[in-house]
Structure 1
Amino acid sequence: MELNQQERVSYSPLMKSFTFNAYLVAGYTPISRASQLDFYINRPGGMKGYILHMTLRGEGRIKAGNRYIASRINDLFLFPPGVAHHYGRAENSDHWDHLWIYFHPRPYWLDWLRWDRQEDNIGITSLNDPALSAHIQDSFWEVIQQNASNDLLSEALAMNALERLIISSFKLQPVSNHQNLDPRISTLCHYITEHIVEDLTIEHLAEQVFLSPSRLAHLFKDEMHQTIFSWREKQRVNRARNLLQSTHLTIGQVSQAVGYEDPLYFSRIFKHHIGVSPRQYKKRYEQMISI
């Protein structure tokens, strides 16, 4: 759903005010350094409904408990009712443009609002596939546009679009959406992503889930349809893509940040998965957002 910046801004707090005394409210918030919208939202008691965020440009800073988490391009954040809201533009970023939807779910949606990764009850999902990211973004815009429309049945259409968005997001949760996944494998996946920079051995990983190395290797392949280290390599590349989009780190710094000491080796791995070098990827992305 292609919208130019002027069309996008028409759905932002710059052009209209929002009231949350409704079952569905949605909009687009473009934040630039020192701009009118450059301030932190602080709702210590949260809200009565859920709120779903998607970052389009730059980086946000979201407080979860006693620490802050970065919200980078194509990151989704889900705040349940009563969970504190404290977020704004990250100081190291000139922008934080994001889409958001505030809603009261239909009762049968509740099972779909359980996300695998949570930080102090805030759900977090990163979108690493460009086609999927575009699909999710289109769903956001459909909700936002229908919510702003005065046409007959626009409210029902907005809720239907939101339902599809919630289902699409839930399908991205490998544990919640696939209850048959062995809990030892989901634990291991979380452990690997938390230690993505470390050069973990199969023996060390096996100790984390109390299995022999050979048993772990077979179980992981059966559950995930790939080897442990193939899966880890994809997670490293996905994290590298996010860093190339959202930071000013050099290729060498990105390489080290995702666990590769040799930038040349990292570049070969990256190109194998993405089709272009890290430098070309960053250049193409910068050209895209400057249009």
Structure 2
Amino acid sequence: MTDENLDPLKPGYPFNAHLVSGITPIVKGDELDFWIDRPKGLKGIILNLTVSGAGLVFPGTPQEQTVRSGNLMLIPAGTKHDYGRHPDFHNWYHRWVYFRPRATWMDWLKWTKTHNGVGFLDLEECKTCEALPIIEPLFQSIDQSCKTHSIVAEELSLNLLEQVLIRCREYDNARPKLPVDHRILRVCQFINENLSKELSVEELSRVACMSNSRFSHLFKKQLGVSVRQWIEDQRISLARQLLITTDLAVNQISGYLGYQDALYFSRVFKKNLGVSPRDFRQTHL
């Protein structure tokens, strides 16, 4: 593979990782000023935020869309890519994240406004807050985290991306919804910062400043899964990344995630992904 193939901004990049991010600074006539045409899309999802200039999507069709500063675009896996710099604009700068979603994100990936399967969201239409100053720094933090090359950089980036997707759900004004309670968001952050610890419903309820029963009910209502399942999903997601990106032994990963019994961890991993941790690692070498 050539050096050019290793640049996600250039044609031929394989997008084999679970998460890649960056900013594409397109200026009229420069080397990045080419059209993106992927009829079968990618294996993962693209989340795109225009920060200046404008892009054109599905030109010459009834689904044609112009994306400007503050516009988000969500391209699901296997969905056609057909976009580039808008010819009436000198530049198009857009931040983007390519990712494979966690199982618990599915509801957050259903946007109200879609064209040809691609979701569109205008942050300027958010009536309750200044949305862009919240979303763009999260994109920047994802990109910075990806470049640290630490063993948990990808997992930290996924946690930041999760915040972006939750915010997008909040900002989708056309979608009937109950906004995610700030207390639930605070608990999610606490969980991700303490995955290696034994986290009880009682402790998490105190973080949320709610009763145990009220907290458990609200958590499941808003995120679609029980708090126990959500914690397990986060641990398995991190285990997957550590198996791929490090040489840590399975029992070391088990301990790092707070599982005292490596055999129990292996059973939980297989229940979620259908293969043992060792087999999973072998298939991703």
Total equivalences in the alignment: 169
The structure-2 alpha-carbon separation of the partners of 1:136 and 1:74, relative to structure 1 and needing over 3 Å to count, comes to same
Letter in 1 for 2:50: T
Q: 1:114 aligns with which of 110, 117, 121?
A: 110
User: Separation in 2 of the partners of 1:68 and 1:125?
Assistant: 15
Q: CA deviation at 1:177?
A: 5.2
The structure-2 alpha-carbon separation of the partners of 1:89 and 1:104, relative to structure 1 and needing over 3 Å to count, comes to same
Q: Does 1:158 align with 2:154?
A: no
Aligned to 2:57: 62
* Structure 1: runs of 5 or more not aligned: 1-10, 181-291
Aligned to 1:145: 144
Cα pair 1:12 1:28 within 8 Å, conserved: no
Cα pair 1:42 1:85 within 8 Å, conserved: yes
Q: CA deviation at 1:155?
A: 1.3
Q: Does 1:27 align with 2:22?
A: yes
Q: CA deviation at 1:25?
A: 0.8
User: Separation in 1 of the partners of 2:176 and 2:151?
Assistant: 34
> Within 5 Å, which residues of 2 pair with 1:133-282?
133-176=132-175, 178=177
Aligned to 2:280: none
Q: CA deviation at 1:148?
A: 1.9
Letter in 2 for 1:160: N
The structure-2 alpha-carbon separation of the partners of 1:19 and 1:148, relative to structure 1 and needing over 3 Å to count, comes to farther
Matched position secondary structure for 1:56: strand
Cα pair 2:63 2:115 within 8 Å, conserved: no
The structure-2 alpha-carbon separation of the partners of 1:146 and 1:53, relative to structure 1 and needing over 3 Å to count, comes to same
* Structure 2: runs of 5 or more not aligned: 1-6, 180-285
Q: 1:71 aligns with which of 67, 90, 111?
A: 67
Aligned to 2:9: 13
Cα pair 1:114 1:176 within 8 Å, conserved: no
The structure-2 alpha-carbon separation of the partners of 1:36 and 1:96, relative to structure 1 and needing over 3 Å to count, comes to same
User: Separation in 2 of the partners of 1:95 and 1:174?
Assistant: 29
The structure-2 alpha-carbon separation of the partners of 1:175 and 1:72, relative to structure 1 and needing over 3 Å to count, comes to closer
Cα pair 1:55 1:74 within 8 Å, conserved: yes
TM-score by length of 2: 0.55
> Within 5 Å, which residues of 2 pair with 1:88-127?
88-127=84-123
Matched position secondary structure for 2:40: coil
CA deviations over 1:148-193 (Å, ceiling 9, x no partner): 221242111111001111111111123545179xxxxxxxxxxxxx
Q: CA deviation at 1:37?
A: 0.3
Please identify, of 87-96 and 67-76, the stretch whose mean Cα deviation from structure 2 is larger. Answer: 67-76
Aligned to 1:43: 38
The structure-2 alpha-carbon separation of the partners of 1:179 and 1:171, relative to structure 1 and needing over 3 Å to count, comes to closer
User: Separation in 2 of the partners of 1:85 and 1:45?
Assistant: 8
Cα pair 1:170 1:177 within 8 Å, conserved: no
CA deviations over 1:218-276 (Å, ceiling 9, x no partner): xxxxxxxxxxxxxxxxxxxxxxxxxxxxxxxxxxxxxxxxxxxxxxxxxxxxxxxxxxx
> Within 5 Å, which residues of 2 pair with 1:80-91?
80-91=76-87
Letter in 2 for 1:94: H
Cα pair 2:63 2:116 within 8 Å, conserved: no
CA deviations over 1:192-227 (Å, ceiling 9, x no partner): xxxxxxxxxxxxxxxxxxxxxxxxxxxxxxxxxxxx
Cα pair 1:18 1:25 within 8 Å, conserved: no
The structure-2 alpha-carbon separation of the partners of 1:19 and 1:70, relative to structure 1 and needing over 3 Å to count, comes to same
**What is the RMSD of the two structures over their aligned residues, measured on CA atoms?**
2.5
Matched position secondary structure for 1:59: strand
Matched position secondary structure for 1:48: coil
CA deviations over 1:101-138 (Å, ceiling 9, x no partner): 11110001001111111112111100116832011001
CA deviations over 1:22-41 (Å, ceiling 9, x no partner): 11111100000101100001
